[in-house]
């Protein structure tokens, strides 16, 4: 029996695209920052090529606009290209009309370079869903309606996690019903623990957790015939990563054991089968996925 294919995704952004650092590197100064993303994307592409894996790359509109050759490189290797928005601002900090114009701007830029229609979106910092910070509930389900309205097929922005996401959201792909049509949601891999879910599919969770725990979790999902989704940022594998000044918790989330990222990532893609979101999506009978109303998330 063929092993189930999991999903590998890359958020194509550079080292200065960390949310809430406008005081250090506002958008108006991004063009003064050293471009390091290209060589890191090249390294990822080579690793995927060596393993005959084609994944999904969520490209930031700003990166596509400034460095169209990066989109051409990814496209040339046969990977799926999707959008990560334009300015890397969290969705719940945007007005709906600004979200829509960013979405369409990034889609237009990327499509005009690749020549292919894109169908997927990922929000910066998993910023769609119900996140609870202090007493603030930050809802952004309207963004899912706009994605459906703009013809997107899928989203990958709702983390089933406390603090940054919707803690009780599903941990495997599901259908979201909106008044403009359905959106298929692809959540990141998490490991269920007594403290709640831990984001082992990427970021600090991937770097901090034992490999054996990550491996066993992927196995459990796959044995239940469910794909898992992992994610990587090009800056996480940069050997000379320039570091921004961040508050302690964010510094830990972004830079804690960052040098472990690449080896762990390679170990996972060596051990399991991986492909793109679009490949998994086209193999699905959508009617068999669990269905959620957009307002329940």
Is 234 a binding residue for Zn ion by CB under 5 A? The answer is no
- What lies within 8 Å, CB to CB, of 45 at 6+ separation is 73, 74, 77, 79
Taking the complex as a whole, how short is the minimal distance between the CB of residue 26 and Zn ion, in angstroms?
Answer: 17
Nearer to Zn ion, 15 or 262 (CB): 15
Binding mask 120-139 for Zn ion (x = CB under 5 A): ----x---------------
Distance, CA of 228 to CA of 222 (rounded, Å): 8
Task: Give min distance, CB of 42 to Zn ion, in A.
Answer: 19
| 11, 80, 102, 185: residue in contact with Zn ion (rule CB under 5 A) | 11
CA distance 265 to 257: 13
| Closest distance of CB 170 from Zn ion, Å | 22
The values of phi and psi at residue 160, to 5°, are: -80, 65
Q: Which stretch binds Zn ion (CB under 5 A): 5-13, 164-172, 242-250, 254-262?
A: 5-13
Binding segment (CB under 5 A) for Zn ion, from list 9-17, 171-179, 201-209, 283-291: 9-17
Bridge-based pairing of strands 136-138 and 181-185 is unpaired
Q: Which stretch binds Zn ion (CB under 5 A): 13-21, 63-71, 244-252, 287-295?
A: 13-21
Total residues binding Zn ion (CB under 5 A): 3
- DSSP assignment string, 52-118: T---EEEE-HHHHHH-HHHHHHHHHTT-EEEE--SS---GGGS-HHHHHHHHHHHHHHHHHHH-S--
Q: How far is the CB of 125 from Zn ion (least distance, A)?
A: 7
CA distances, 271 to each of 28, 173, 260 (Å): 42, 22, 17
Applying CB under 5 A, the span of 32-40, 119-127, 162-170, 268-276 interacting with Zn ion comes to: 119-127
What residues make contact with Zn ion under the rule CB under 5 A? 11, 13, 124
């Amino acid at each position: 029996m063929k092993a189930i294919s999991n999903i590998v995704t890359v958020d194509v952004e550079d080292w200065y695209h960390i949310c809430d650092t406008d005081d250090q590197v506002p958008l108006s100064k991004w063009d003064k920052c050293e471009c390091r993303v290209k060589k890191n994307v090249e390294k990822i592409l080579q690793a995927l090529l060596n393993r005959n894996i084609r994944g999904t790359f969520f490209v930031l509109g700003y990166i596509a606009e400034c460095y169209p050759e990066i989109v051409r490189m990814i496209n040339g290797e046969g990977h799926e290209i999707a959008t990560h928005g334009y300015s890397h601002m969290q969705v719940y900090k945007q007005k709906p009309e600004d979200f829509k114009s960013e979405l369409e701007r990034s889609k237009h830029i990327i499509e005009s370079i690749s020549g292919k229609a894109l169908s997927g979106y990922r929000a910066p910092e998993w910023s769609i869903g119900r996140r609870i910070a202090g007493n603030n509930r930050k809802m952004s389900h309207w963004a899912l309606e706009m994605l459906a309205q703009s013809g997107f097929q899928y989203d990958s922005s709702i983390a089933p996690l406390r603090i940054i996401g919707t803690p009780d959201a599903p941990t495997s792909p599901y259908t979201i019903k909106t008044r403009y049509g359905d959106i298929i949601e692809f959540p990141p891999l998490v490991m269920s623990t007594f403290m709640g879910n831990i984001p082992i599919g990427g970021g600090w969770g991937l770097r901090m957790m034992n490999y054996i725990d990550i491996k066993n979790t992927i196995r459990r999902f796959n044995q239940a015939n469910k794909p898992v989704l992992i994610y990587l940022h090009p800056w996480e594998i940069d050997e000379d990563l320039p570091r921004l000044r961040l508050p302690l918790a964010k510094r830990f989330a972004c830079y804690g054991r960052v040098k472990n990222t690449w080896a762990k990532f390679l170990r996972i893609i060596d051990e399991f089968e991986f492909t793109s979101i679009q490949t998994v999506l086209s193999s699905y009978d959508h009617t068999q996925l669990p269905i959620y109303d957009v307002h329940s998330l």
